[in-house]
Amino acid sequence: MPAIAFQSVAKVYLPSRGQRAEGKEGLRALDDVCFDIEEGEFFGLLGPNGAGKTTLISVLAGLTRPSAGTVKVRGFDVRRQYMQARRQLGVVPQELVFDPFFNVREALRIQSGYFGIRDNDDWIDELLHSLGLTDKAEANMRQLSGGMKRRVLVAQALVHKPPVIVLDEPTAGVDVELRQTLWQFIAKLNKQGSTVLLTTHYLEEAEALCGRIAMLKQGRVIAMDRTSALLRTGASTVLRFKTDGALPEAIARQARVTGRIVQVPAQNAHEVERALTVLREAGLELEDMEIRKADLEDVFIGLMADKPASAFIKVA
């Protein structure tokens, strides 16, 4: 039995009366999403803004009702068996949501009470220590920085020891220290058997942490496989350099340009040599040139640019 099962999940937001009068159709946020996440997996869910990641997590958490399909958490249907399903889940939301009337320890005790858990101070103390919140235990939530509030959200999600942990952009806008602290703790829980579902725009985090990844585009899964297999679908190397000149068309067609930084995919040394020849013949001056191994960001950008939402890639 999978830890999470998405079965033909769809979500359509119907147009308003005024939009219907203008002939506009509803917004299809999710379109026939089907995949399972096995017990103990560290699974990544990636996609650009508006791809449907947060909508899918909202359906999983019972915050949004799907237009079609079913979602199960460890065998419990999130709609028909919502109480049992929610006990299995610990969700860290993207938004910073907190109660301004309580300190950190009180907030965690109240969260424990929502699940009928009493005398939970030992686990609360462990959470506070593991997330670097011990010295903030008696501080009011309003006094905390954004990063500290994010840590409290993680602690609240874990306070009832859920077997399935869902992290929706948990490190967005936070400092390096929190990222390291959070990932060390979550990786520890994963090794102990917890299932983790992660959405993030920091693709280096997904590459380092996730054993398997699904990529969403326009509400559809367009690629899903083990991280190592997805990495093999792209170019093996990338030629990276800085330049102020205009790129020749042969390079511009395939290059990824960020300001002065240009990155050109290459399958082998011959393609690297050919790209350098074209650049030299165009008279461009190159700075800080390097050849690096392709990463998940290269694969992600290539898939999002090249594949329509109706396409699906399974690497095997």
For residue 84, how many other CB atoms are within 10 A of its CB?
14
Its pTM stands at 0.84
Between 93 and 3, residue with greater pLDDT: 3
Burial of 293 (0-12, 13-18, 19+ CB in 10 A): exposed
Q: Report the SS3 class of residue 115.
A: coil
Predicted local confidence at residue 190, as pLDDT:
94
Distance CA 203, CA 260 (A): 22
What is the predicted pLDDT for the residue at 105? 92
Residue among 45, 59, 291, 251 at smallest CA distance from 168: 45
What is the structure's pLDDT at 59?
A: 95
Domains of the chain, by residue range, sit at 4-15+24-231, 235-293
User: What is 4-15+24-231's CATH number?
Assistant: 3.40.50.300
Residue 21 has a pLDDT of 67
Tokens 């899903």 -> residue = 224
Residue 158: which H helix or E strand, with range? Answer: helix 146-158
Quickly state the pLDDT bin for 43 (edges 50, 70, 90). Answer: very high
As to burial, measured by CB atoms within 10 angstroms (0-12 exposed, 13-18 middle, 19+ buried), residue 221 is: buried
